Structure 1
Amino acid sequence: MEIMEIIKEAMVFPSKDIVKLAVYIALSVVSVLLGAFGIIYLAIGVASQSFWIIIGLIAFIAALILGFITTGYIVSIIRSGIEHEESAPQFMWKENLVTGIKFVVLNIVYFIIPAIVVLILGWATNLFGMASIMFTRMMYASMAAPANATVTIADVVPQSMIISFGNSLIIVGIVAFILFVIFGFLETMGQCRLAKTDSLGYAVNIPEAFRDIGRIGFGKVIGLTVLIFVIILVINCIISGLNAYIAGFSILSIIVTPYLSFFAARASGLLYSDIA
């Protein structure tokens, strides 16, 4: 399929089965609420050393389970695109839960490499050391200064260190951006490989994921991924902009965000179907 054909089909796809989209939305909302309550009650329980910590743990674990289920379901949406199924798949609670856990592991595997490289580069350029020194000096200077005084970074840190820190930050930032973009493309292929086979070992085969991009076409993969990103960004910006004029308009995100998740997953599956 051509890029625009994929976009058109994927954009319509979520509306073909409103019931399953509604179930996904409900599960996502409940998961977020349980997670928030879990964190609050955990904090209360730790502070007061009371039974609320148990309530918080239960709510937090329930939120994680629902999160894994919804994540696993998104993988099944990718599979529906690979297999060109007409409508959204059924919820398979146990399978979705297991797949969601695999998906999280997959993301850790793909992004731990660029994370380690960035950390090593930050250490090699002394970025973290300089940041620690600058933060400590600012903190002590702020504590020692009169209440109405304003302390700037230039007052407590030599200009040479500020320049060195800025240069290191630029270098690390550029490398981090490049690496995470590259591994983001690879991770997309990993998601599709997981959706196709349900095998974590198959999904985390990074060299084969790279070859999959070549088989589909680097231009097509990059073009579709960028277009999906732009569409999601524009829609979210429109919602944010309208919220500035219409109070509460951002509540639409509860519906729009899951819809866009279906859209992006379906598009990825259709893309991968070229070589499946």
Structure 2
Amino acid sequence: MDYKELLMKIFAGEINMNITEIIKDAFLFPSKNTGRFAIYLLLSVLMVGFALGGIFTYAFGIIDAENYLMGGVYLLISLLIGCIITGYHIKIIKSGIELDDNVPVFELYKDFMTGFDNYIVSLFYFIIPALIVMLVSFDTNLFGNAMEVVKEFVLQIYGVYFMDIPIEIAFISISPLLTDFLNSLAITLTAAFIVFLIFSILQLMAEARLANTGSLKEALNIFEAAKDITRIGVGKVILLLLAVVVVIAIIEIILIIALTFYPFLLSVLYIILTPYMVLVSQRALGLLYSDIA
């Protein structure tokens, strides 16, 4: 096998199930058991409701001991429900890996424990890119440049108001400092986009590994997660992600156009559609991973 053929295999992957089949299966899957989807929908609404309750309590309530405690309770309940939901996501992925057409049942304790593992996976695959971006920001002196712009701005404002310096002259000195800041910001944001995109895909593979093996250790093996992408095929992974995003976007655009004058109905459909699409995405990931499981 020459290098060109090897590169083609790495990029394209051995396609056991094509993108169209995955998309079709994934979009139909949550509707195969409306009762279990209804439970998932209820849990999702409760999770968001308690999270908003906690946020609003802190944002608009009087910060006394009672409100502070209630806000924390709301957020904790949201977190606990979120554990159950993310644990159920792993079950959905596993159903795709095993090509099982049955929508999984809820097992609250088991789903909670699996969801806790999934939280650890998410945190692990977030911390690494966050540290990389922080190092880039230090290397580009992003914060230093920002402070220089702020300091010079304050000095020039002082000069304009208290020393009668013409405003068109006062802010000339800020221009090179602002250029340095914008350059460092552009480099940091570009690095952040690339790094977080890569680690987001790695996290998807990690979740699939957790579903396939049930092992947190295997899910945190970042090198094997990267190898899984090449085993499936970089091209197939990217194409599936793009296909899911595009199909969801098209559905949302159609809904917005069709229900522009019915905002209440549009809101209700969004409340139903958003959790549905999450399950679609998880099922699609499982089906994708079934190629190498």
> Secondary structure at the residue paired with 1:158?
helix
* Percent identity for Structure 1 against Structure 2: 40
Which of 204, 210, 216 aligns to 2:232? It is: 216
The one-letter amino acid paired with 2:178 is I
Q: CA deviation at 1:215?
A: 1.3
Which of 96, 108, 120 aligns to 2:135? It is: 120
Matched-pair contact (CA < 8 Å) for 1:77–1:266: yes
Matched-pair contact (CA < 8 Å) for 1:190–1:206: yes
> Secondary structure at the residue paired with 1:86?
coil
Other-structure match for 1:20:
36
Q: Structure 1 residue 2 and structure 2 residue 22: aligned?
A: no
Change (3 A) 1:145 1:12: farther
Matched-pair contact (CA < 8 Å) for 1:44–1:53: no
Pairing of 1:33-182 with structure 2 (within 5 A)? 33-42=49-58, 47=63, 49-135=64-150, 155=171, 158-182=174-198
The one-letter amino acid paired with 1:126 is N
Q: Could you tell me the TM-score, scaled by structure 2's length?
A: 0.83
Q: CA deviation at 1:254?
A: 0.6
Other-structure match for 1:11:
27
Matched-pair contact (CA < 8 Å) for 2:149–2:181: no
Q: Which runs of 5+ in 1 are unaligned?
A: none
Number of residues paired by the alignment? Answer: 270
Q: Could you tell me the TM-score, scaled by structure 1's length?
A: 0.87
The one-letter amino acid paired with 2:94 is R
The one-letter amino acid paired with 2:53 is F
> Secondary structure at the residue paired with 1:274?
coil
Structure 1 outlier segments of 4+, above 6 Å: 139-146
Pairing of 1:176-191 with structure 2 (within 5 A)? 176-191=192-207
In structure 1, distance between residues paired with 2:76 and 2:234: 40
Change (3 A) 1:75 1:136: farther
Other-structure match for 1:266:
283
In structure 2, distance between residues paired with 1:131 and 1:242: 45
Matched-pair contact (CA < 8 Å) for 1:45–1:51: no
The one-letter amino acid paired with 1:221 is V
Q: CA deviation at 1:203?
A: 0.4
Q: CA deviation at 1:269?
A: 0.1
Change (3 A) 1:241 1:116: farther
Matched-pair contact (CA < 8 Å) for 1:31–1:64: yes
Q: CA deviation at 1:143?
A: 9.7
Pairing of 1:205-244 with structure 2 (within 5 A)? 205-240=221-256, 244=260
In structure 2, distance between residues paired with 1:131 and 1:177: 20
Change (3 A) 1:57 1:11: same
Max radius of gyration: which structure?
2
CA RMSD of aligned residues (A): 2.6
In structure 2, distance between residues paired with 1:110 and 1:40: 29
Q: CA deviation at 1:234?
A: 3.1
Matched-pair contact (CA < 8 Å) for 2:149–2:174: no
Mean Cα deviation higher: 6-15 or 52-61: 52-61
Change (3 A) 1:272 1:162: same
Which of 198, 207, 218 aligns to 2:214? It is: 198
In structure 1, distance between residues paired with 2:159 and 2:44: 47
